[in-house]
Structure 1
Amino acid sequence: MTDGHDSLPEEMGEEFWNERYRSSERIWNGRPNRHLVAEAADLAPGRALDVGSGEGADALWLATRGWQVTAVDISSVALDRAAAHAAEAGEGVADRITWLRADVTRWAPPGPPFDLVTAQFMHLYPNPRARLFADLAAAVAPGGELLVVAHHPEDLKTGVPRPSVPELFYDGDAVTAVLTEGEWDVLVDDVRTAEQTLEETTYTVHDLVVRARRRT
């Protein structure tokens, strides 16, 4: 995920993210990503894979709705914090989440396939990004869905504080290109705008939302 920091991706490994999370009691706002809520609220619970899970808000939201979740992140600090939040959630939420530390540029999703694979704001260089998206698509079960959300390149034109590395940003083609023709239905391929305050300034941000369903 990106957060406006100017570090290059090769510098943003486990230790970078561990220090980033140690720098504050909570980095993110504790709420699930709004596009996940909008796109997944009506899905029947099953097995979900949450890639880049951070402090666990998305995984917790899914688990409270009955999903069995595998949540993956590079930061052990973030995962420990997420597990603590899950333990406080009650209602057996923690029992429905498996926390997994992994560098997604050197990792492939475990089997069996998932009913929902979600990757929120994963920003990598084109080659590792394409490999990751292909792996995530392969991890979706027949009838299951892939949901990818990202900062859109339009943000680079409008002054939104993002890493100054254009290669990290992409449009819907970067996601749909890995989907085998005839095996998928692309349900959503949108750029959605919203007002967001970053560094005490309010910007119009542009989010890419791609949702696809594997045919049965």
Structure 2
Amino acid sequence: MSGHGHQLSDEEAAAIFEPPSWDERYSGPEKVWSGNPNAQLVAEVAGLTPGTALDVGCGEGGDVIWLARQGWRVTGADFSANGLARAARHAEQAGVADRTDWWQVDARTFTAGGRSYDLVTSHFLHPPDGGMVAVTRRLAGAVAPGGHLLVVGHAPSEVFTHLTASQRRAMFVAEDLLPGLPDDFEALVVEQRPRTTTRDGVTVDIHDSTLLARRTS
């Protein structure tokens, strides 16, 4: 997504956020992601009692597999059919297929449809034009009373100047998401957490925008 040789048109930039773009990314032979669980998921969920979980934007299933190994019953949701197919294969290879389900759905339009989960989580989902506030509201609708919502994303940074303008505008700080929390949610963590990662062989410092909230009723 960073190798564009020309300035993207509005149409091309918008296409990056649509299912066909991600189906194409997941159509090759190589893994797109490391398969390791996201750092903030491990930090916040390790102390929770396992129950049911929904991971929205699950991609190749790394977080789903980690949660299942911790004893959770997990539904992985994504709008990419190819991504979900990969995730299901990875879960089978990891020996947790019996603790996982898969749901093809677009986070921007989905509704819980009567389903509820003890944990709803989403990592590095970045819809354009500030759309993550509305997505947060939709995610909150799937949280069971007493359950938790964890949303993590990239905080704006000069580290991401290689991305398109649309991608950079889609980044957020945790405070931006607070309007998406219904009245019966209590925000427990609202912060940008530093993390070191490697990109193209170079170590870089970034920040994870982290929102953890609990549904009180």
Same fold (TM over 0.5): yes
What corresponds to 1:40 in structure 2? 45
User: Following superposition of structure 1 onto structure 2, how do residues 46-195 of structure 1 map, counting pairs within 5 Å?
Assistant: 46-90=51-95, 93-126=96-129, 128-153=131-156, 155=157, 157-159=158-160, 161-165=162-166, 166-181=168-183, 183-195=184-196
Unaligned ranges ≥5, structure 1: none
Aligned in 2, Cα 1:50/1:9: closer, same or farther, shift over 3 Å? farther
* Conservation of the 8 A alpha-carbon contact between 1:9 and 1:124: no
CA offset at residue 5 of structure 1? 6.5
Alignment partners' CA distance in 2, 1:142 and 1:191 = 26
Alignment partners' CA distance in 1, 2:121 and 2:2 = 21
* Conservation of the 8 A alpha-carbon contact between 2:111 and 2:141: no
CA offset digits 1:136-173 (Å, max 9, x no partner): 111111110000000001x1x34564432342011122
Counterpart of 1:148, as a letter, is V
What corresponds to 2:206 in structure 1? 205
CA offset at residue 101 of structure 1? 1.4
Aligned in 2, Cα 1:109/1:38: closer, same or farther, shift over 3 Å? same
User: 2:197 aligned with 1:196, yes or no?
Assistant: yes
Counterpart of 2:94, as a letter, is A
Aligned length: 209
Aligned residue for 1:205, secondary structure, equals: strand
Q: Whose relative contact order is higher, 1 or 2, with alpha carbons under 8 Å and at least 6 apart?
A: 1
* Conservation of the 8 A alpha-carbon contact between 2:151 and 2:210: yes
Q: Give RMSD over aligned pairs.
A: 2.0
CA offset at residue 192 of structure 1? 1.1
Alignment partners' CA distance in 2, 1:5 and 1:133 = 30
Counterpart of 2:174, as a letter, is G
Identity %: 39
Unaligned ranges ≥5, structure 2: 5-11
Runs of 4+ more than 4 Å apart: 3-7
Query: Which shifted more, 46-55 or 127-136?
Result: 127-136
Instruction: State the TM-score, normalized to the length of structure 1.
Output: 0.88
Alignment partners' CA distance in 2, 1:32 and 1:123 = 18
* Conservation of the 8 A alpha-carbon contact between 1:160 and 1:203: no
